[in-house]
Structure 1
Amino acid sequence: MIFLPIGTDAPLYHYPITTVGLIITNIVCFGVTVSSGQPDSWVLEFSHIDPIEWVTNMFAHAGPGHLLGNMFFLWGFGLIVEGKIGWARTLCVYMIIGIVESAIIQAIMCAGGATEGGALGASAAIMGFMAISLIWAPKNEVKLFVFFWFVFIVRAFVWDVTVMMFACVYLALDLASFLIIDQGVGSAALHLTGALVGLGVGVLFVKRDWVDCENWDLFAVTAGTYGRNADPATAVGSHADPTLMFGHSNVKVQDEIQVDTRHSRFQKKLETVNGLIDSGQYLEASDRLVDLNLQQERPLDERRLGTLAKGLLRSDMHEEAEVLLEEYVDRFPDDAHWARVRLAHALLKRHKCPGAALRQLKQVRLSQLSHELEVLAKNVVRAAKAQVKAGVEDAEREW
């Protein structure tokens, strides 16, 4: 059976410049090694220490099949990594993983007295990308092209599987191969070493806030605080609140019902909504806010309004988030640069309104934006201008 990653549903905030460039570079280098007839000069030799080989072996392959398989994996997981951190940092991460892995393997083999043998291929660095994808986007899916045959049965199909499942199964198979079959430095050991380096890089980026995983990283997933699972009313399994597993009880004992004034009842409801926002329970806070808005228009303060809008965006509740973004822009225009960027992105992508998106961004100062939002704003401007130039008119909005 053959399975090759051909795509992903992970959000891509950057074009895959480095990923495509690395694929082209590997293909060119393979052609050079084949035409020159000297592929051994690119190999990571186990008998000595040579830092040049730490780089060259990453761009050498044993044959067309080896190259093809690696390039498909580089495409699938390179999209996820580069989609979050851009081309420059992706290139640095790729080279660091490959060089560190090569240095570790060569040092271990030399220390063990190896006099022959070697390794080549991009798979160790690519396994590092797979490990990083596991840390940054475990719930996103990779699209696999699967080719299966058994005797006279041949099947080809496309299968979507989560990054977490695919990476864990693949690395588990490599571990089993290393322990049972290889029992030495084979491809499984090289893969696992690259993956370990990638895991370290992935964790470091998350813990130092060098990457924005939008609260969908492995730590949020294992803690049950991602997406809808951050809302105790919808969480399941070990993360669920047992008192909510069968819904809220509307039955009250008469003696427990206190007589309050209309204002005090409103304040209690507002405190509840504020508490839900502060604890990250954005979906329930949004539902309860609807009732509050019927009693008093725009009850939230600036901080909680922004926090709730961002939380709903991370939970894929775009319609609810867009209403709050418009309110934020209207009420706090001087501090609404980030909200205008998110709103412009929604206007362009969800509502097909390039003109409205550009009007929002005209009021944004790039100096007030984070690096991620600055990149997003530039991408929206570029795409919106292209659509306007092509004659696309703003569609009628539903909200």
Structure 2
Amino acid sequence: MQNGRAGRLHPAVGTARRHLAAALEKLLGAGSIKATGRSRTASTADAADLPLLLVACSGGPDSLALAAIAAHFARRGDVRVGAIIVDHGLQEDSAAVAAQTAQTLTDLGLHPVITEKVQVPVGNMGPEMAARTARYTAFTKAVEATGARAVLLGHTLDDQAETVLLGLSRGSGTRSLAGMPPVRVEGGVTYLRPFLGLRRTDMLDICDAETLTPWIDPTNTDETLMRARIRHSVLPYLEEHLGGDVARSLARTASVAGPDAEYLDEQAQVAYEQALLPAGTAVRGIEREDAVLLDRAQVAALHPALRLRVLATACKTAGGENPGFERLQALDSFTAEYAVAGPVQMPGHVSAYRRRKIVHPATGERLDVLVLVPTRP
């Protein structure tokens, strides 16, 4: 175990501690965490009041290294650190891997260590997205059960580069260039990715320094999966033919684009709320109380960068899925054109209509309204 004695701390461990300390300071407040220093002395009562962090750990090198680094701050008395292990049940030995990982984390001093077995949904989603959906549902359940302040994720610079390249291949816009944010709130849960500036090789070095034996997920080399194909074929090809460190360049692009995308998302949320009509607004032919009603003229007047985000938000708020480029463009055209009768069908069983001369319940003004209605019972 790396205890920080003179001359014995592996450089990768020291760097990772600094990255995690910086991320935790942003979460918990300035001066709350230091990357180095002596352990604090705290009573059992004080320790119970410390914020709890959960490491999402598969047993692989990245998340196991993160657990080891987080355990350092738990030993010092800065925070409490537990873990959530998700057994997807997709491999024959998944239960044994989860059990071994739980024991390793317990030996590191993490508490509580929660293992959640999930059922990966089979439907329109690809296998990777289906597994992610099940995994994040388990994370939310663990946070609700423990009151954890945040979930720590072990994604690295290499994961970020793969994410950006995946998004570019799908033509997903600014958000794809932004990759994975270092901090994200999803479903009421705060997720931290403190290692987006570190390489996958650093994680292996940390595991070696901490004498940990990580589990190697066989799906990481299964090139029938897109991410594995990008990792083992596409990125090496680009680096061979373009030269330089393509992964680092892609991750740098995400760092530049991330704040831009975040700002646009924030402004779009403000614009959405301003265009939203109050609940209970009477609209002929629309009886669903969960329908989303927007001032069409107000939405149409927005800059396209905001307008498309507002329309996507409206779709998701109405219970639909995040619309792809073609469907979103169709809804955008429908919002601007008076002649098109509609409805426009959006993914996730949502229909978009227009209704004219709808009376605003607060102002009495007659408006042209864009209505998004869930069609599921």
Indicate the TM-score class for this superposition, using the shorter chain for normalisation.
under 0.3
Provide the TM-score with structure 2 as the length reference. Answer: 0.28
- The answer to which structure has the higher strand fraction is 2
Rg bigger for which structure? 1
Provide the TM-score with structure 1 as the length reference. Answer: 0.27
- The answer to which structure has the higher helix fraction is 1
